[in-house]
């Protein structure tokens, strides 16, 4: 970002912009040479003239020094931009009604900052103003400064504009993975990688569940005194390129209703909130958008395999037992249908279209089915369908369990 804007000659006022930022750490690197080296005393004289060199002992490195910013530097998403704007009267005339208006422009829109006004400005007078704005968008940004004033001697109203451009980078890379657990719980894994070229200190990493979910933080434990301790310890520093992984257990309060054509549904589980400090305590904060995942739909009928052999022999019949539960508030009169799946390694060998006893709401029944393995290896048992004869509603179940089929010993 250009810090000083050139002023046109016809204007009596000048405008300068400087970013207010913290210093950086600079390390001295003193090369060692011998008198007979080709470079001679060239490097020696440069080392002595270096302001970071210790007087009378130039070969002793002092470690790191605080280095004032030499340019605009790098600003990241979630950090706060602080700029110092100076409007000065370098002429011999007096001006009045000096107004400074600033705005920040990005791809998604403009943000108008509060203006500042000075009623009179004498020669060599000045207007100083500090602006602050939190960076909420990646990419190119433009700082626009508009100055209006009136020349006292002529009453002429003057106006000029200065434009400064800078880029906002991405500080963190946040990725999520979801794993469906037993029943309806979800395990969410969050990976946070430091993309900045310097270390950062994680101040707070939290998950805000949506209104349809509750969450459990799995990133801490209770010590012997009963106090909660972070799994990462007291030091929360993350080096450039390093990744931290966080785990949360999410429980949906109410799953969506069960359409007949779908077995999963998408829900919004919440969003992540990350706060950090970088280098000399610059604060940053980002929030992710709504996080979504697919969850199994709770159907009116639930089928769980409660008995199945781990391995079977090729072309030898075996049985599985299923627990069928009516989870709806109405009774069901079920009829089981065994659907043949082309290319399957295990075939249903029982009688299809069997009627079963009526299931009242929230009751269960154990049903046994016969199967015949026809292909060796790990095979999936699927394509079992139930029909409620009272409503003609069908409930297909595509993946029940797996068995390993061994080749015949003969």
pLDDT tens readout for residues 254-273: 655 544 445 667 888 899 99
Q: How confident is the model at residue 64 (pLDDT cuts 50, 70, 90)?
A: low
State phi, psi for 261 to the nearest 5 degrees. Answer: -95, -5
**Which distant-in-sequence residues (6+ apart) come within 8 Å of 87 by Cβ?**
13, 14, 15, 98, 100, 126, 127, 129, 147
Task: Name the residue with higher pLDDT: 335 or 4.
Answer: 335
Indicate whether 30 pLDDT > 90.
no
Q: How confident is the model at residue 246 (pLDDT cuts 50, 70, 90)?
A: very high
What are the boundaries of each domain within the chain?
Answer: 13-22+70-169, 24-67, 172-296, 301-406
Fold classification of 172-296 (topology level): Immunoglobulin-like (2.60.40)
Q: How confident is the model at residue 38 (pLDDT cuts 50, 70, 90)?
A: low
pLDDT at position 29: 61
* Range 155-159 average pLDDT: 88
Superfamily of domain 301-406: Immunoglobulins (2.60.40.10)
Q: How far is CA 272 from CA 33, 175, 247, 290, 370, in A?
A: 54, 10, 12, 8, 49
For tokens 């210790």, the residue is 54
pLDDT at position 102: 93
**Which distant-in-sequence residues (6+ apart) come within 8 Å of 191 by Cβ?**
173, 174, 175, 176, 177, 243, 244, 245
Indicate whether 253 pLDDT > 70.
yes
pLDDT at position 407: 84
Q: How far is CA 306 from CA 311, 324, 346, 368, 402, in A?
A: 15, 10, 18, 10, 13
For the chain, give the secondary structure using H, E and C. CCCECCCCCCCCEEEEEEECCCCEEEECCCCCCCCCCCCCCHHHHHHHHCCCCCCCCCCCCCCEEEECCCCCCCEECCEEEEEEEEEEECCCCCEEEEEEEEEEEECCEEEECCCEEEEEECCCCEEEEEEEEECCCCEEEEEEEEEEEEECCCCCEEEEEEEEEEEEECCEEEEEEEEECCCCCEEEEEEEEECCCCCEEEEEEEEEECCCEEEEECCEEECCCCCEEECCCCCCEECCCCEEEEEEEEEECCCCCCCCCCCEEEEEEEEEEEEEEECCCEEEEEECCCEEEEEECCCCEEEEEEECCCEEECCCCEEEEEEEEECCCCCEEEEEEECCCCCCCEEECCCCCEEEEEECCCCEEEEEEEEEECCCEEEEECCEEEEECCCCEEEEECCCEEEEEECCCC
Q: How confident is the model at residue 274 (pLDDT cuts 50, 70, 90)?
A: very high
Indicate whether 63 pLDDT > 60.
no
Q: How confident is the model at residue 176 (pLDDT cuts 50, 70, 90)?
A: very high
Q: How confident is the model at residue 8 (pLDDT cuts 50, 70, 90)?
A: very low
pLDDT at position 33: 64
Q: How confident is the model at residue 368 (pLDDT cuts 50, 70, 90)?
A: very high
Query: What is the torsion angle, in degrees rounded to the nearest 10, for the CA atoms of residue 252, residue 255, residue 261 and residue 266?
Result: -40
Nearest partner of 271 among 294, 247, 287, judged by Cα: 287
Structurally, at CATH architecture level, domain 13-22+70-169 sits in Sandwich (2.60)
pLDDT at position 299: 74
Indicate whether 79 pLDDT > 80.
yes
pLDDT at position 2: 42
pLDDT at position 261: 47
Q: Of 13-22, 76-85, 163-172, which range is least confident? A: 13-22
Indicate whether 28 pLDDT > 90.
no
Indicate whether 289 pLDDT > 70.
yes
pTM (two decimals)? 0.63
Q: How confident is the model at residue 3 (pLDDT cuts 50, 70, 90)?
A: very low
Indicate whether 66 pLDDT > 70.
no
pLDDT tens readout for residues 296-318: 766 788 888 999 998 999 989 99
* Range 57-81 average pLDDT: 69
The gap from C-alpha 170 to its chain's centroid, in whole angstroms, comes to 11
**Domain 13-22+70-169 identical in fold to domain 172-296:** yes
Q: How confident is the model at residue 21 (pLDDT cuts 50, 70, 90)?
A: confident
Q: How confident is the model at residue 4 (pLDDT cuts 50, 70, 90)?
A: very low
pLDDT at position 259: 46
pLDDT tens readout for residues 208-236: 998 888 888 888 877 777 777 777 777 67
Average pLDDT, the chain: 83
pLDDT tens readout for residues 104-127: 998 888 889 989 999 888 888 899
Q: How confident is the model at residue 6 (pLDDT cuts 50, 70, 90)?
A: very low
């Amino acid at each position: 970002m250009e810090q000083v804007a050139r002023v046109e000659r016809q204007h009596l006022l000048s405008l300068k912009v400087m970013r207010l930022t913290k210093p950086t750490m600079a390390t001295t690197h003193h090369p060692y040479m011998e008198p007979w080296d080709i470079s001679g005393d060239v490097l020696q004289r440069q080392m002595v003239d270096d302001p970071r060199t210790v007087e009378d002992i130039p070969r002793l490195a002092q470690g790191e020094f605080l280095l004032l910013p030499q340019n605009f530097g790098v600003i990241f998403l979630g950090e706060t931009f602080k700029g110092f704007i100076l409007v000065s009267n370098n002429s011999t005339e007096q001006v009045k009604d000096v107004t400074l208006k600033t705005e920040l422009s990005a791809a998604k829109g403009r943000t108008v900052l509060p203006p500042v006004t000075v009623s009179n400005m004498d020669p060599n007078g000045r207007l100083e103003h500090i602006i602050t704005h939190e960076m909420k968008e990646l990419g190119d940004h433009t700082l626009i400064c508009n100055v209006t004033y009136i020349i006292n001697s002529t009453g002429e109203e003057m106006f000029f504009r200065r434009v400064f451009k800078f880029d906002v980078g991405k500080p963190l890379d946040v990725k999520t993975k979801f794993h469906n657990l037993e029943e309806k719980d979800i395990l969410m894994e969050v990976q946070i990688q430091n993309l900045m070229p310097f270390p950062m200190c994680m101040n707070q990493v939290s998950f805000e569940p949506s209104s349809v979910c509750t969450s459990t933080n799995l990133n801490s434990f209770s010590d012997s005194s009963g106090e909660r301790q972070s799994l990462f310890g007291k030091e929360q520093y993350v080096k450039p390129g390093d990744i931290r992984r966080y785990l949360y257990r999410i429980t949906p309060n109410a799953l969506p209703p069960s359409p007949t054509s779908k077995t999963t549904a998408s829900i919004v589980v919440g969003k992540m909130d990350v706060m950090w400090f970088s280098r000399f305590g610059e604060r940053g904060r980002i929030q992710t958008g709504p996080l979504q995942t697919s969850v199994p739909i709770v159907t009116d009928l639930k089928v769980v395999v409660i008995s199945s052999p781990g391995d079977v022999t090729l072309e030898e019949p075996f049985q599985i037992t299923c627990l069928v539960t009516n989870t709806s508030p109405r009774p069901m009169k079920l009829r089981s249908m065994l659907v043949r799946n082309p290319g399957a390694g295990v075939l249903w060998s029982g009688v299809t279209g069997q009627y079963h006893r009526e299931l009242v709401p929230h009751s269960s029944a154990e049903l046994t089915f016969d199967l015949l393995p026809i292909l060796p290896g790990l095979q999936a048992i699927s394509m079992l369908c139930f029909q409620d004869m009272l409503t003609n509603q069908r409930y297909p179940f595509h993946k029940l369990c797996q068995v390993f089929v061994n080749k015949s010993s003969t």
